[in-house]
């Protein structure tokens, strides 16, 4: 199994777009990318906007040979109803978060628009929630819906296990680091070799992510380390919007090392340098202002 993190927050944009290839299947998960409309009260920096276009093209080209597209929920950094629809969805089997059940108001509206646009071009549209889909020797198993973070205010997401005869990969989607016990149950039960986790939203700590929720997330990631025993854990997305993300994890790196588990960002997994453009937005604008003066 080959797992390619196409674009992630550690690469300079908001995304968890992931390409998975097995002997039987080429799958793209959450083929979308976005930038924060405001951060530190500032709009996206031109460097972010340039990278945004570059990654949209990369997503479209990565989807060219895919048979299946999975959409875990309807936030704009995980799906789009406007960009590269033909290139990504035409002729593909599309497996989506249930647009009618266990979904909040805003995502239901987004889902309706999105599905209306891809229905004429997709080969087939299937519901993901709690279901299993088999393609040759590759098994896709979706979790029941779990909250996007510590409660259902932001809606629900589905997690995804991809398993073939040799490997198992787990994609958590936007759980914000497992602040809830039952968010981690699906992960531990699958015992994946590689896990891509949407880490805790530490950049919003004490705003809409509490210290208690961070502590619960770290406790549940430790549970994954001890009970699932993966070989690699990738922590990214919301977590990499924090320049001090490593400090926020406390002793997690030490615990991973003690258990012979690689713990890293998606950029590091892909052999790239970390590029936290959103977290650096203020510094980028400040540098330009200083140079002009």
- Residue range 89-112, pLDDT digits in tens: 999 999 999 999 999 999 999 999
Of 92, 90, 84, 71, nearest to 25 by C-alpha is 92
Residues of the chain with pLDDT under 70: 291-293
For CA atoms 245, 173, 56, 140, give the dihedral sign. positive
What is the C-alpha to C-alpha distance for residues 97 and 276, in angstroms, rounded to an integer?
Answer: 29
CA dihedral in degrees (183, 129, 140, 132; nearest 10)? 120
Count of positions (residues) in the chain: 293
What is the C-alpha to C-alpha distance for residues 86 and 261, in angstroms, rounded to an integer?
Answer: 39
Looking at residue 291, its pLDDT comes to 66
Looking at residue 293, its pLDDT comes to 53
* pTM reported for the whole predicted model: 0.97
Of 22, 24, 28, nearest to 5 by C-alpha is 28
Looking at residue 17, its pLDDT comes to 98
Taking only the tens place, the pLDDT of each residue in 1-11 is 999 999 999 99
Return the DSSP state at 30: S
What is the C-alpha to C-alpha distance for residues 62 and 26, in angstroms, rounded to an integer?
Answer: 10
Complete domains list, the chain, with CATH:
2-283 (3.60.15.10)
Looking at residue 288, its pLDDT comes to 83
How many CB atoms are located within 10 Å of the residue 132 CB? 10
Cβ atoms 141, 190 nearer than 8 A: yes
């Amino acid at each position: 199994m080959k797992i390619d993190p196409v674009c992630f927050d550690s690469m300079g944009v908001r995304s968890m777009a992931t390409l998975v290839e097995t002997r039987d299947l080429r799958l793209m998960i959450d083929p979308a990318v976005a930038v924060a409309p405001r951060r530190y009260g500032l709009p996206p920096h031109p460097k972010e906007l340039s990278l945004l276009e570059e990654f949209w093209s990369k997503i479209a080209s990565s989807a060219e040979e895919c048979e299946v597209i999975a959409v875990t929920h309807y936030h704009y950094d995980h799906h789009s109803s406007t960009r590269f629809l033909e290139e990504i969805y035409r002729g593909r089997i599309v497996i989506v978060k249930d647009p009618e059940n266990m979904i909040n108001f805003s995502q239901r509206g987004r889902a309706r628009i999105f599905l209306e646009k891809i229905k004429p071009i997709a080969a087939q549209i299937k519901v993901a929630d709690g279901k299993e889909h088999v393609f040759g020797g590759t098994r896709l198993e979706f979790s029941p819906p779990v909250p996007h973070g510590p409660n259902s205010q932001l809606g629900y997401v589905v997690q995804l296990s991809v398993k073939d005869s040799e490997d198992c990969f787990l994609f958590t989607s936007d759980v914000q680091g497992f602040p809830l016990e039952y968010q981690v149950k699906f992960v531990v039960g699958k015992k994946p070799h590689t896990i891509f986790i949407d880490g805790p939203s530490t950049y919003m700590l004490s705003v809409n992510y509490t210290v208690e929720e961070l502590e619960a997330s770290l406790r549940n990631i430790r549970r994954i380390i001890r009970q699932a025993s993966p070989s690699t854990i990738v922590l990214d997305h919301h977590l990499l919007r924090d320049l001090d993300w490593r400090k926020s994890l406390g002793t997690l790196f030490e615990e991973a090392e003690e258990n012979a588990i690689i713990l890293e960002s998606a950029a590091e997994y892909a052999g790239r340098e970390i590029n936290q453009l959103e977290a650096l937005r203020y510094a980028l604008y400040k540098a330009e202002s200083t140079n002009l003066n």
